[in-house]
Amino acid sequence: MAEIIQKDGTWTFDGDAVRIVPGRDKGVGLLRQTLGEVLVPLRALAGISYEPGRKAGRLRLRLRDGADPLLQVTGGRLPEASDPYRLTVEPDRGGVAEYFVDEVRNALLLDQVDPGPADSYLLPGPAVPITVGAGDGTAAFDGDRVSLEWNWTTEEAKRSGGPREFRVADLRSVEWAPSRGLENGWIRFALAGAGQSAAPKYDPYTVELFGFKKDPLMALVAAAVAVRMPHPAAPAQEPAPEPGPTLAPPLPPALPPIAAPIPAAAPAEDHDALLRRLRELGELHQAGILTAEEFTTAKAAILGRF
């Protein structure tokens, strides 16, 4: 087990998942505080890295494309302070961060995790019910229905239509965009069968965001909705063929020629024993019993046996 505790948060790895608990430091963004604890299964990871710095380092998890609904709807546009997969590391804890990286990378190697895109969500998304007020409205989601209500900043053309309510099953897509410069952001719900959306300030199914502190929280609403919709990369289901005339059953295929028997492979060394040895080496290195050179040499020898 590997763990790193910082003001920015605590990351723990037990061999199967990385548990992320946000800290209470003033630099922790509101989105991370509201999202709370996140459990990232090993099969959702594409990689991990540590970036040392003079004042502080950065520990980063890289998730597989399509594995997390929050990253799917934000498309890499979250501010640094709102990114739950980044941890600020104090300079004197760089060695612990590097050990944490080694443990996760070894597990990815041993489990042969595919770092490529996922065709289903591997994280559950934010908890529901969830309600967020930001920009010109309030969005609420109970796991099935989305409701939008307007405030005094809403354009009259949009507010005059009153609140909106619709089900996830009625949606074609949900999108989130942050404010940038003079351009406002938005969270937009596109209903199936609807035409082209109007500008965010006039669209009755869009909350316009003005660049204030609570704007990133709308990304949590978008993620909670997205995880309950079909995954964008899920294989398309082919329609069932229409029944046709009854035909005679086809003849069985000819049997293939008998191939020469393939010699059995030599039994592999016990992977569990090798994994335990890796963890023991890590503990000895962290305790200062093994030097960095001794630890690297021993680890390479064990990994060569897999």
Residue 249: what pLDDT?
58
Whether 29 contacts 88, CB under 8 Å? no
pLDDT in tens, 11-55: 999 999 999 999 988 889 999 999 999 999 999 999 999 999 889
Residue 296: what pLDDT?
77
The secondary structure of residue 79, as a DSSP letter, is: -
Is the torsion defined by CA of 258, 263, 269, 270 positive or negative? positive
pLDDT in tens, 108-164: 999 999 999 999 999 999 999 999 999 999 999 999 999 999 999 999 989 999 999
Record the tokens describing residue 67, joined without a space.
């594995």
Residue 300 pLDDT greater than 90, yes or no: no
What is the distance between the alpha carbons of residues 226 and 212, in angstroms, rounded to a whole number?
A: 23
The secondary structure of residue 264, as a DSSP letter, is: P
Confidence of residue 226 (pLDDT cuts 50, 70, 90): very high
Per DSSP bridges, beta strands 164-167 and 145-150 are antiparallel
Residue 306: what pLDDT?
63
Confidence of residue 235 (pLDDT cuts 50, 70, 90): confident
Quote the mean pLDDT of the chain. Answer: 87
What percentage of residues in the chain have a pLDDT greater than 90?
69
Residue 175: what pLDDT?
95
Residue 266: what pLDDT?
39
Average the pLDDT over each of 2-11, 114-123, 287-296 and give the range with the smallest value.
287-296
pLDDT in tens, 252-269: 555 454 444 444 443 445
Contacts of 288 (CB under 8 A, 6+ apart): none
Confidence of residue 169 (pLDDT cuts 50, 70, 90): very high
Region 57-85: mean pLDDT is: 95
pTM: 0.77
More confident residue, 290 or 278: 278
Compute the C-alpha angle 295/297/298, nearest 5°: 65
Residue 127: what pLDDT?
96
Confidence of residue 220 (pLDDT cuts 50, 70, 90): very high
Question: CA nearest 222: which of 140, 99, 134?
Answer: 140
Residue owning tokens 């380092």:
57
Could you report how far apart the first and last alpha carbons of the chain are, in Å?
21
Residue 280: what pLDDT?
74
Average the pLDDT over each of 117-126, 185-194, 285-294 and give the range with the smallest value.
285-294
Q: Name the amino acid, one letter, at 76.
A: G
Residue count of the chain: 306
Residue 92 pLDDT greater than 60, yes or no: yes
Residue 158: what pLDDT?
94
